[in-house]
Structure 1
Amino acid sequence: MKKALLGIILLITIAAGVLYVKSPLRPVNWYPDATIGLNNMFSPNTALSAVTIYNRSALIGPEDIYVSDDGIAYTGLANGAIVSFPVSSPNNSRVIANTGGRPLGIRGDNEGNLIVSDPIRGLLSVSLGGRVNVLVNSFEGAPLRLIDHHDIAENGDIYFSNASSRFGIDDYLHDFLEASATGSIYRYSPESGETNMVMSGIFFANGVAVGPNDEFLLVAETGKSRILKYHLKGKRKGETSIFANNLPAMPDNISFNGTDTFWVGMVSLRDWRVEALAAFPAIRRMLGALPMEWLEPKEGYGFVLGFDIHGNVVANYQSPNVYNTVTAAYEHNGNLYLGSLHSNGVAVLSLGR
């Protein structure tokens, strides 16, 4: 019995050693911020159960949503397609182009084109006629592996996130295990063609939104379940502060409704099991050698938050099972249009205004 036990211990030790050596991760210690969980301003509710979901069969993985002033919605799908549909007839979608990658963030510029964040192809300009042009896919000679989201300032400058300099879209979960915080924010000038780094050292830099009058930039730091604020003007120009902290879920894309509200898709609730490993990099390194599908979160949850321009929570919409893994929320004419990584179709929620 004793020999059998020693044998089992030896096999476990060898297996752990193999996983450790095989893993591509080089994890670091990190310390999750506290959270009040789903309490107080984040109390559970079923508000998202009131959504209407359109075009489930055609819109597979609509990760981000943009609606133009004339009522045409645009999104990017898992198969690389960029599609549009009238908000008055959301089941009638048509394919504009295919990036050949995986389009994530999508916004319209002042020239009538779509600007698309594609982690495989780069930051793209897509004409409504279907022409795809690469604007940026590297910086100072290094590839930008995971361009994730962006927003466009009044002068046309594009602020975009590169979620990780270590991992791409196919192994992005490794970034959360490694916690090396290699995400960055860049500014691309269409006028000059120049790209400059604005922020760095972000734990999975995700959603980006320019605030009113281009005074500041919001950035979702998904790995730390918080939203950062980068000051673009005024006495604090160039400084970074905290816009929203201690969130009970992980923020994804951000959009500004143009007047008073930032909408944030909360892609996943915080997982205490993951955060409990924050101080154990050796264990996380071994996990990095396991098949990626084993690491994929299995539980989905629908969650959208609205913040005023000062970071106060002004809207809290949730649902455990109607429309999950919400990555985007975009307001247009009193409706909120939702996108998701794993729920098919575009969900629409009436805001009653």
Structure 2
Amino acid sequence: MKSESAEINTSASPQITWTGRQIFLVALLPVITCLLFVSSPIDPLPYTFPSPLPRLEAGLKKNTLLQQADRWFEGLLIGPESFAADTNGTIYTGTADGRIFSIKQKGLSLVARTGIDHPQCGSAEFEPRCGRPKGMKIGPDGKLYVVDSYKGLLKVDLDTGDVETVVSNKDGSEGVPFRFLNSMDISSDGIIYFTDSSNKWERRDFRYAVLETRPDGRVIRYDIRTGICRTLLSGLYLANGIALTADEDALLIAEMSIARIRRFYLKGEKAGTSDIFVDNLPGYPDNIKLNTRGNFYVGSGSVRFKGSSPIGSFLDLIGPYPSVKKVIAAVTPLSAYNVFMPKHALVVEINIDGLIVGSLHDPGVVRIGAASEAFEFNGTVFIGHYQSPYLGVLSSATINAERSA
């Protein structure tokens, strides 16, 4: 007589199917226990991203346009993230070591420094002293206005290289110091709009700001004519890129840590109010720039689309769980966070209705490691990123040919 155990049909046993989210959370259980023994530098809030994740279809259809870009000034420009242009066709950009350069006919010249000159400029330790120039634009007076993450709103005389502090981080707006200045735009009548990404974290700690997912960013308005500086909009999630619409009726503001762009109305019946321009983006939006088609190029700090990671989007997975985020911040060095970033560079093109009408990709980051900004000028798209040791350069004709194919 066979035993009872021998009569069990093991092939009929129920099969357990695990989702990527379940595997991720179970794998983190031992790590979560660390929370009992270590302190965390962040105090995060829960956040649930929209679902499902975007798919690479229609305007987001995968291509290799960014792989056709040239690399200029390799090893000479470290972290050229944002760009401006003057009427003479000269391009300006700032770098991770606090320098501002001009680019003319593929020639590179130093214009100014926003902080000290030191051999360790470019390191996180010296960043507050050396400066970190970010958003910039030529003002109506012909001066180059720059927001430096640590120094404030600055004005650069392009003839002499002299740097003047217009509003320091210490003075800030309405008694609240600036902490993390990031991006800017200037209206035709001399109003400067710029973002202060966080009232807690400095630029060198921006990954903590991303993990905390707190609405502590704001938009500042500065009038060149009157010198009046005031807060225009607050309660933003890591306020990053900012751009005026073509008619200057509204501002678009990237809320990087939650993958959306907010619109603030400057004129009309809705003046002084804001709404969501586009949500559930396939990447975490960085700088926003108008292009020649009247649309907006939006760079991506990293990506979050269907298939971008075997377990799903990392921030989507951990977003609802503050305890998990605390542990990650406690045990992961800031220098190691790139391991969580999928290898895919992406720029999206969004029209005035908030629809994604095109995109530029480098799957596998073969040519362009990442794209914080895509700035189109005189038939060329300049591509920068805060960590890239080069300037990406792509012909607008190449992009147009792909679109018409």
Q: Is TM > 0.5 for Structure 1 vs Structure 2?
A: yes
Residues 230/13 of structure 1: CA separation in 2 closer, same or farther (3 Å cut): closer
Contact kept, 8 Å, 1:209 with 1:217, in 2: the verdict is yes
In the TM superposition, 1:99-178 aligns within 5 A as 99-100=114-115, 101-128=131-158, 129-136=160-167, 137=169, 138-178=172-212
Alpha-carbon distance, 1:93 to partner: 0.4
Q: Is the 8 A contact 2:302 2:341 kept in 1?
A: no
Which of the numbers 36, 39, 51 marks the counterpart of 2:54? 36
Give the C-alpha shift of residue 149 in structure 1.
0.2
Q: Distance in 1 between matches of 2:67 and 2:328?
A: 35
Contact 1:67–1:330 (CA under 8 A) maintained in structure 2: no
Counterpart Cα distance in 1 of 2:31 and 2:274: 45
Q: Percent identity?
A: 31
- SS at the partner of 1:142? coil
2:273 partner amino acid:
E
C-alpha change, 1:43 and 1:14, in structure 2 (3 Å) is closer
> 1:155: how far off?
0.9
Q: For the residues of structure 1 that align with 2:346 and 2:45, how far apart are their CA atoms?
A: 29
Q: Cα gap change, 1:192/1:32 in structure 2, threshold over 3 Å: closer, same or farther? A: same
Once the two structures are superposed, what CA deviation does each residue of 1:93-141 show, in whole Å capped at 9, x if it has no partner?
Answer: 0100011101111111111111111111111111112111122221233
Question: Is 2:342 the partner of 1:324?
Answer: no
| C-alpha separation in 2, matches of 1:179 and 1:287 | 14
Aligned 8 A contact 1:37 1:247 in 2:
no
Letter in 1 for 2:48: Y
Question: CA contact under 8 A between 2:201 and 2:209: conserved in structure 1?
Answer: yes
Candidates 334, 341, 346, aligned match of 1:292: 334
Correspondence for 1:249: 283
Aligned equivalents of 2:31, 2:216: Cα separation in 1: 32
Deviation digits for residues 197-218 of structure 1 (CA, Å, limit 9, x no counterpart)? 1111111100010112210101
Higher strand fraction (1 or 2): 1
Question: What is the SS of the residue equivalent to 2:288?
Answer: strand
Using structure 2 for the length normalisation, give the TM-score.
0.79
Contact 2:48-2:319 at 8 Å conserved across structures: yes
Structure 1 residues 14, 252: closer, same or farther in 2, change over 3 A?
closer
Is residue 2:239 matched to residue 1:194?
no
Deviation at 1:299, TM superposition (A): 4.2
Q: SS at the partner of 2:37?
A: helix
Alignment of 1:1-353 (within 5 A): 15-19=34-38, 22-34=39-51, 35-86=53-104, 89-90=105-106, 92-100=107-115, 101-128=131-158, 129-136=160-167, 137=169, 138-257=172-291, 260-270=294-304, 272-290=313-331, 291-296=333-338, 297=340, 299-320=342-363, 321=365, 322-352=367-397
The 3-state SS of whatever aligns with 2:268 is: coil
Report the residue type matching 1:294 in the other structure. A
Point out the structure with max Rg over C-alpha.
2
Greater displacement, 266-275 / 214-223: 266-275
Pairwise CA distance, 1:65:
1.4
**Rounded Cα–Cα distance in structure 1 between residues aligned with 2:162 and 2:32:** 55
In structure 2, distance between residues paired with 1:26 and 1:196: 28
* Preserved CA contact (<8 Å) 1:251 1:264: yes
Cα 1:84–1:160 shift into 2, 3 Å: same
Q: TM-score normalised to the size of structure 1?
A: 0.91
Q: How far does residue 169 in structure 1 lie from its aligned partner after superposition?
A: 1.1
SS at 1:30's partner residue? coil
Q: Within 2, Cα distance between the matches of 1:17 and 1:229? A: 41
Write out per-residue CA displacement over residues 50-105 of structure 1, whole angstroms, 9 at most, x where no aligned residue: 1111111211110111222321010001111000011xx22x10100011101111
Counterparts of 1:13 and 1:33, CA distance in 2: 25
Partner of 1:5: none
Q: Which residue of the partner structure matches residue 3 of structure 1?
A: none
Paired position in structure 2 for 1:6: none
Structure 1 residues 14, 245: CA separation in 2 closer, same or farther (over 3 Å shift)? closer
Distance 2:33 2:69 in 1: 51
Aligned partners of 1:300, 1:230: CA distance in 2, in Å? 33
Q: Which moves more between the two structures, 319-328 or 160-169?
A: 319-328
Quote the offset at 1:253 in angstroms.
0.6
> For residues 324 and 185 of structure 1, what CA distance do their matches in structure 2 show?
29
Give the whole-Å Cα distance in 1 for the aligned partners of 2:202 and 2:109: 28
The CA deviation string for residues 233-280 of structure 1, in whole angstroms up to 9 with x for no partner, is 011111212222221111101112366121111221126222211111
Aligned alpha-carbon RMSD (Å): 1.9
Separation in 2, partners of 1:283, 1:55:
41
By how many angstroms is 1:306 displaced? 1.7
Q: Secondary structure at the match of 1:276?
A: helix
Q: Give the Cα–Cα distance (whole angstroms) in 1 for the partners of residues 352 and 188 of structure 2.
A: 18
Alpha-carbon separation, structure 2, partners of 1:108 and 1:238:
26
SS at match of 2:87: coil
Counterpart AA for 1:272: S
Unaligned runs of 5+ in 1: 1-10
The 10-residue stretch of structure 1 (191-200 or 258-267) with the greater mean CA deviation from structure 2? 258-267
